[in-house]
Amino acid sequence: MKGIDPWDVKEVKDYNELMKTLGVDSFSNYIKKLKDAPIEIRRGLVLGHKDFSKIYESIAKKKKFAILTGLMPSGTFHFGHMSVISQVIYYQKLGAKIYLLAADLEAELVRNIKEKDAKKIALEEYLLNYLALGLKSKNLEFYFQTTGPKKFKEYSNLSKLASAKTTFNEVKAIYGEITPQKLISSLTQAADIIYPQLEGISTTLTPVGFDQLPHANFSRDIASRMNFSLPCFTFHKLIPGLQGPNTKMSSSKPESYISFDDSEKEVERKIKKYAFSGGKATLAEHKKHGGNPDIDISFLWLKYLFEDNDKKLNEIHADYKSGSLLTGELKEILIEKINAFLNQHRRNREKSRKELNKFNLQ
């Protein structure tokens, strides 16, 4: 698909343009309508959707709906993974049944990560952190692609039967030239996305990053040809990596992210050394002309992750722009916020360990 490869994620420069050319609807009308939404939704990280009106109606009329989403367990859990899970927790509170999967099959097929290692990462890095962030084990089904959900046989057959509902031409139009193992991953993902319907829940939402858009289209095509309901999607942009507004956090590049295991000192070091600044080159210039908060990573992380209070965020924005707030000071605000969050999170995580054992997963 033009400009999007789900296995080689590039930061998108112009999301509005992308949405226009690829037929994704704007999410902006829903932002104000959703009550008590997480910061990722309120501050506009979730930009696009397909058929969200069905989900909105289910919420308003208290009708049954499910969330299904997943992550490829490929490395440490970092703040780039927050946007998905915050949304999942939000919808769980609204009563949705949650299906969460770890794409260990995809990790082995396309990243060459062995199943055993992928599972360990999925449990220790992902599921444990999800629980510590507030995901509840009630009304949740967590599964691995290799061992499948409760109805494993149907799930496994679904991913294979889906192959009869597409053609190489369509696959090429959606994904470009792909390898057989990527095609298997796509068919498996389509089965993931349709799976809640096998358990009788026909209204489903899959929150994902924009990079997953080809999978969204593929699974919707297959769903309609197999007489399932069309799965709904929301698409969020990526929280930028430390190197700048158009970079991404990448598991293979520790200087691009803050991980949930980084110590206080490491957080301080990384932010001071790497967080891209929108400030001016010299102190005098900065004080005179002010900085640009909208390209400054410290500001953007406060906006999308840590500063919940709109008034405070606006003040920081104005002060940085006027030059009265210096880059070093802005970084200090962020460092303090991250460390306060992580200290609390680490305490929560110890409590969540017991809960993790209850899952009894192999």
Which residue has tokens 């470009």? 176
Angle at 44 between CA 41 and CA 49, to 5 degrees: 75
Shortest distance (Å) from residue 84 CB to ligand TRP: 8
Q: How many helices (H) and strands (E) does the chain have?
A: 17, 7
247: part of which helix (H) or strand (E)?
none
Q: Could you say which of 18, 72, 122, 271 contacts ligand TRP (CB under 6 A)?
A: 72
Q: Could you say which of 206, 234, 277, 298 contacts ligand TRP (CB under 6 A)?
A: 206
Q: Report the distance separating Cα 157 and Cα 35, nearest Å.
A: 39
Shortest distance (Å) from residue 193 CB to ligand TRP: 5
Shortest distance (Å) from residue 72 CB to ligand TRP: 4
Contact segment (CB under 6 A) with ligand TRP among 63-71, 126-134, 293-301, 320-328 equals 63-71
Q: Report the distance separating Cα 247 and Cα 257, nearest Å.
A: 10
Whether the CB-CB separation of 78 and 48 falls below 8 Å is answered with: no
Binding of ligand TRP by 80 (CB under 6 A): no
Contact segment (CB under 6 A) with ligand TRP among 117-125, 155-163, 188-196, 244-252 equals 188-196
**Residue span 92-111 as binding mask against ligand TRP, x where in contact by CB under 6 A, dash where not:** ---------x-x--x-----
- What stretches of the chain adopt beta strand conformation (E)? 25-26, 46-50, 66-71, 97-102, 140-144, 204-209, 232-236
Binding of ligand TRP by 75 (CB under 6 A): no
Closest residue to ligand TRP in the complex (CB): 70
Q: Could you say which of 40, 104, 108, 192 contacts ligand TRP (CB under 6 A)?
A: 192
Residue (224 or 343) nearer to ligand TRP, CB: 224
Q: Report the distance separating Cα 150 and Cα 100, nearest Å.
A: 12
Could you tell me whether strands 97-102 and 66-71 are parallel, antiparallel, or unpaired per DSSP bridges?
Answer: parallel
Secondary structure letter of residue 310 according to DSSP: H
Shortest distance (Å) from residue 208 CB to ligand TRP: 5
Whether the CB-CB separation of 204 and 65 falls below 8 Å is answered with: yes
**Number of residues forming the site for ligand TRP (CB under 6 A):** 14
Residue (188 or 298) nearer to ligand TRP, CB: 188
Residues that bind ligand TRP (CB under 6 A): 68-72, 101, 103, 106, 189, 192-193, 206, 208, 212
